[in-house]
Each structure stands twice: as C-alpha cells, then as structure tokens.
Amino acid sequence: MAIARENLDTDSLDDGGLGARSVEILLAGQAPSGALIASPTFPIYQFAWLRDGSFCARALDAAGRTGAAERFHRWVEQTLATHRGQAEQLIAALDAGHVPPAADMLPARYALDGRLEVPGAVKGEVWPNYQVDGYGSWLFELASHVERGGSAAFDRDAVDLAARYIAAAWRADCYDCWEEFGDGQHASTLAAVAAGLDGAARLLDAPAYAEQAATVRESLRTRFVRDGLVRKGAADDRLDASLLWLAVPYRILEPSDPIMCATAEAIRADLRGRTGGIHRYLGDTYYGGGEWILLTCWLGWYDAVTGNRPGFDAARDWVRKQTTPLLDLPEQSSDGAQEPQMIEPWVLRWGPVATPLLWSHAMYLLMLEAALPWT
C-alpha cells in the first residue's frame, strides 16, 4: 500500500512546539548504529524494540527525516544478519513441527549494537522477550519506507529471512505486544504478521508471501471476531486498544468495515479513562494501569482516517496536556489510573514512568500526519 503524501511540516503546526520536539526526541534517541532506543531515561527500556522502532521510523519518514528512518532499517538488516544462524535453526525447527522454548526464539528487543540482551543485566530483571509482531512491523514499515521514496537498496536476504521466520512462527503461541500474556495468539500480533508478509511480497515480488498473508488474515477473521467485535485473543474475549492496528496502519480490516467500526467504538467506550486518554485493557495494573499516550494517538489516527474530526480533536488536545515542561511525552498518564495503589510499587521497582517514550512521540506525529487534510 503506497502511502506517499506531503511531508509533515512541524514548523507550521499550531501545537505549541510539540511536533518539532517530537522529531527532536526521535533524532536524539537514535544510536550511532541506527537503532532507536525506547526511552533514553528509563533503564529497563534502554533497548531497541523492532516494533517501537518501526513506528518511530515511520514517523521520521512522515517528518521528512528519511535518512534517519533509513539508518534504522539498515540497523535491523545488520542485526538480522548477525543472528542469521539462530534464525535459520528456528525456522527449520518450526517447519518440522517443533516449537522451541520462548527463550530460544528471536527476541522482540535488542541491545543498541544489535547484540542479544543479557537477561537480568538491568536491575536484575528477567522479563519476556519473545514476540513476532516486531518482525512483521519492520517488514511492513520497510515496504512503506521504500514506497514513500526511501532507498530501494535494501537487503533482500534480510527481508526474506524475517518473512520466512514469521511465516514459520505465526501459529505458535507468543507474548502479546505488551509482553504480559504469553499463553496464546493475539489479534494485533497476527495483524502485524499478515501486514509484514504482504510487505515482503511487495519488496521481493514474491507472491508466495502474499498467499501466506492471506492465510493469516483469514485466521484473524474467523478465529478472533466474536459477537461483531475483534477480540484480543483466539480464546481471550477482552478488548485491547492494540486492536486498532488492524485498521491503521495494517488494513487487515478497512477502517470503515462495520466490525472495525464497532471494535473502535467499543475501545472508545470501554477503554477511555476518566481524564480522556485510552487504557491498554481493563484490569491493567502496570504503573496503575494508566491512560496511554500512544494509544490515545492511535485512536486519534483512526478518527482522522475515518473523518471523525471531534474524535481526532479530543485525542490531540488530551495528548498535548500530557507533556512535561520540556514538551516530553511519557508512556502513560497516571492521573486516570485504574489501580492507583499499584503506581508506587512500580515506581519503587523501576522508577518513574518512562519519559520521554519515543513511541509516544512517534504516534503523535503519525496522528497529525493522518489529519493533514484538516491542517
């Protein structure tokens, strides 16, 4: 899907400087390797997630910083090349019907130099690091980058390796995008896989990957839609704000599809917090289960695409109120926490909420890009 459009002019945005600051945060968060750090001030997030970084690269493209986006994509290619042996072994095992332990699978996040994370090296914490959505996100965003006019001199072997890996792994259980639930399959994960396989098909002119993407999309539609809504998991009826991915940017369901419309409106009704931001899911206790900036932007992005100007305005205005004096955006706002008593335990464990979070700034820019016809 070609998405070329005029670059986002942050200098002309009536946003009090948040657009320009968001670009500044993204550029400052890029390591010499090309990796994009999740948060420069939050020790546990000083890694590079393929998923977060892919959306940050998309935002850099939107803001006309094509070179920085390209450096991220080259870093992913080099990182995949470094771990090719592991990937090939995993693909062979999965194709043979054997699912390796989660700890042996390719990780969701890497050190900024492309090395594997050493479990427990930061604050003694060992936490899940197996997701496949990041590899799908990267393939999709690399294709988008090329289609926006980025360099077509990508590493075809790296693209093929990532596509073969997710094609082999998508049927296996993995952790969700929040690295919390690892006992099943998740709709947003499969959306990223399908979109990534479609991206690989376009990049490599490989129809077989498009056929595999169609299989994943059909699994999503038949196994995850119940009572007119998309559900978080094949066996999990909860709403999760990451379900918005199915519409934007992955277009597993068109934004105007009645099922997608109903799902988005259920997210708006059930996951909107008391101050106006969007929760990840009901029952979240991470830092009290606050309202997430990036997810509020995602709903604003969806609203911009579907022509809901009041919804977009509400999301944009709420997000602008969440900035620090330096115009940094955190991961979440604790003001509308679902479980306020759970804020302090997390602060004692990991420190204050991650601020700035690059993904939050990226989603702000992408929300604004989607609303360009209105600005």
CA 246, 252, 253 angle in degrees (round to 5)? 80
The 8 Å CB, 24+ separation contacts for 16-19 are: 16/320, 16/327, 17/327, 18/320, 18/323, 18/327, 18/329, 18/364, 19/63, 19/364, 19/365, 19/368
The reported pTM is 0.96
Q: What is the pLDDT of residue 284?
A: 98
pLDDT of res. 8: 84
Return the pLDDT at 2.
Answer: 31
pLDDT on residue 176: 95
> Does the active-site annotation cover 369?
no
Fold for 20-374, please state it: Glycosyltransferase (1.50.10)
179 is catalytic: yes
In sign, the C-alpha dihedral spanning 186, 190, 192, 193 is positive
The residues spanned by each domain of the chain are 20-374
Polymer length in residues for the chain: 375
CA dist., res. 114 & res. 112, Å (int):
5
- What pLDDT does 248 receive? 98
Give the pLDDT of residue 109: 97
Q: Select which of 61, 176, 198, 236 is catalytic.
A: 176
State the residue for tokens 């604003």.
300
- What pLDDT, on a 0 to 100 scale, did the predictor assign at position 342? 98
Tens-digit pLDDT profile for the chain (375 aa)? 233 345 788 776 778 899 999 999 999 999 999 999 999 999 999 999 999 999 999 999 999 999 999 999 999 999 999 999 999 999 999 999 999 999 999 999 999 999 999 988 898 999 999 999 999 999 999 999 999 999 999 999 999 999 999 999 999 999 999 999 988 999 999 999 999 999 999 999 999 999 999 999 999 999 999 999 999 999 899 999 999 999 999 999 999 999 999 999 999 999 999 999 999 999 999 999 999 999 999 999 999 999 999 999 999 999 999 999 999 999 999 999 999 999 999 999 999 999 999 999 999 999 999 998 876
The one catalytic residue in 15, 133, 198, 331 is 331
Residues 6+ apart with CB under 8 A from 150: 61, 66, 69, 70, 73
> Is 52 an active-site residue?
no
> Which residue among the candidates 24, 147, 179, 339 is catalytic per the annotation?
179
